[in-house]
Amino acid sequence: MENAKADEYFGYTEKGGTFDGEIRAGFTTFLTMAYILLVNPAMLTVAIGDGTDAGNATAFADILFATAVAAFIGCTVMGLWANLPFALAPGMGLNAYFTFGVVLGMGIAWEVALFAVFVEGILFMIMSLPQVGWRTAMINSIPTDLKIATGAGIGMFLSIIGLREMGWIRDDGATLVNIADTEKWGATSYGIPDGFCLEDHYDAATDSMVCDVVQDGYLELGSYGLHQEGAIIGMLALIAIAVLMARGIRGAMIYGIIVASVYGWAVGASDPYNFYFEGAPGWGGHEATAPALASIVSMPSMPETTLFAAFGDAGMGALEKSNMGDFLLVMIAFLFVDIFDTSGTLYSVGRQAGYVDENDELMNSNEAFMSDAAATIVGGMLGTSTTTTYIESAAGVEDGGKTGLVAVTVGVLMLSGLFFTDLFAAIPQYAMASALVIVGAMMMRQAADIDWHDAEMALPAFITMVMMPFTYSIADGIAWGIISWVAIKAGMGKFDEINKVMGILCVLMIMFYIGPGDESTFGWILGILGF
């Protein structure tokens, strides 16, 4: 009887599915994207944590709560309302933009950034209302090949993040990026360099703050054999995941993460991305350490730091006329990134899953957009960056998923993260990052569908793809792909092929990037208005 009611609501039998098949497809999708429960808190802790072990642990737990609940809301709304088998969670790329672009790059308080996420979520929902339909009209106006290039570009972006976090690439002053210092592996210890300030303290004799510095070489943090090098373990995990996927084993990514983590815990492996003093961000422990057995399973608790922080004194309460201009710019930037990132990913998932019709339009697109808008609003209130549709949803579709019951199943499974906070926090960065490279490879498959023989499309599609990893921004790639496409069409004198939406988007994005002095045109206009 219960299955009959579910079938009546979701209609999976009519679409060629079964109840068991929908649930299994939900598990498949969850296993391919469960890494977000590990990666999103780790990334956002850089922006929200206070730098101490206790403070970062609290921030991680809070963000994990927000991640799981936002994913649950998004998946449930997507399944029950849009009846599509697409899963949602805080988006990769958008969390990087929140952390590295807004909080660290622009110096905006994370509470203000969360309030900006909340506000743009509200605007996002209004734009997605069927009665308004702006967002659907915008997506349908963008050329198909540019939308395909968006998915491939996002894959490249995830891959450079993953390789960096695995410890395989590093920054380089001469060449921008380079391979990691492989000669160190298995031979040289890691440490704090000579002259680095370890700790400030008050000196009563001089009535001033003084700094204890490292002297005579460096303070050793750890020395690791080749079998303990996190970068090596991460690469082996990456290859193992690829083999499992090639053999058709569902959940290959999560299996790879688990094995790499357990092995790392057993041998006390290095976690290269966390060696801050070696040029890495260092948001976690530099050595893989297993969680205490007694704390693996824990009852979830409401966030201590992030819950409604967007509306507190440091968030909405900190806004005044003097900083309103910066807030509006950040909010516009989030809206800009959210629109193009979510739209591009949703289209890419829908196209891969077969939910784009012969008119190149996504089925139930307004309802799908509203679903991730609702999840974004909830996420901003709880403490996470923008929520979006996941490309991994295609795995569930390939496993037989047909309806929204798949998405609802994923949402329920996402809540499991609330009971394993300490376990997720102990997963080494190199293990989590291997999944990002795999996801990047999956998304790059779409590039084969671009018409590279079209001289007017080849460059805009290429710019869309490569600008994402090179600028560390999904929105920049989409924006300059559109700008270059419009410019080439104009240069060819084909003004009749530039529809009104693409023309307006081109002008707005040029205003976003270029303006008088050191301001964008939007910033210049806000200044004229007194903000």
| Cβ–Cβ under 8 Å, residues 329 and 526 | yes
- Say yes or no to pLDDT of 205 above 80: no
Q: What average pLDDT score do residues 253-270 get?
A: 87
| Cβ–Cβ under 8 Å, residues 94 and 380 | no
Among 33-37, 90-94, 481-485, 521-525, name the most confident range: 481-485
Question: Which amino acid appears at position 163 of this protein?
Answer: L
**Which has more pLDDT, 267 or 393?**
267
Lowest-confidence pick of 255-259, 305-309, 395-399: 395-399
pLDDT in tens, 213-226: 544 544 455 677 78
Give the integer Cα–Cα distance in Å for 268 and 341. Answer: 38
- For residue 452, name the pLDDT band (cuts at 50, 70, 90): very high
Task: Report the relative pairing of strands 197-203 and 190-192 from DSSP bridges.
Answer: unpaired
What are the structure tokens assigned to 477, written together? Answer: 């790639």
**Which has more pLDDT, 243 or 357?**
243
Q: What average pLDDT score do residues 112-136 get?
A: 85
Length of the chain: 531
DSSP for residue 399: T
- The pLDDT of residue 353 is 66
Number of neighbours of residue 60 by Cβ within 10 angstroms = 24
| Cβ–Cβ under 8 Å, residues 186 and 226 | yes
Give the integer Cα–Cα distance in Å for 109 and 368. Answer: 31
| Cβ–Cβ under 8 Å, residues 207 and 233 | no
Question: Which amino acid appears at position 286 of this protein?
Answer: H
- The pLDDT of residue 1 is 45
Is 83 in a helix, a strand, or coil? coil
Give the integer Cα–Cα distance in Å for 163 and 179. Answer: 10
Lowest-confidence pick of 24-33, 252-261, 455-464, 516-525: 516-525
- The pLDDT of residue 209 is 63
| Cβ–Cβ under 8 Å, residues 149 and 481 | yes
pTM of this structure: 0.70
Give the integer Cα–Cα distance in Å for 466 and 480. Answer: 10
Q: pLDDT above 70 covers what percent of the chain?
A: 84
C-alpha R_g of the chain: 23
Q: Which residue has the tokens 């998004």?
A: 74
**Which has more pLDDT, 443 or 227?**
227
Residue-averaged pLDDT of the chain: 81
Print burial letters for 281-296: b (CB count within 10 Å at least 16), e (below 16).
bbbbebbbeebeeeee
What distances in angstroms separate CA 348 from CA 146, 327, 428, one per listed residue? 11, 31, 30
Print burial letters for 99-132: b (CB count within 10 Å at least 16), e (below 16).
bbbbbeeeebbbbbbbbbbbbbbebbbebbeeee
What distances in angstroms separate CA 344 from CA 20, 40, 308, 330, 505, one per listed residue? 31, 20, 29, 21, 15
- The pLDDT of residue 164 is 87
Give the integer Cα–Cα distance in Å for 247 and 101. Answer: 39
pLDDT in tens, 301-328: 788 889 998 898 888 887 776 667 667 7
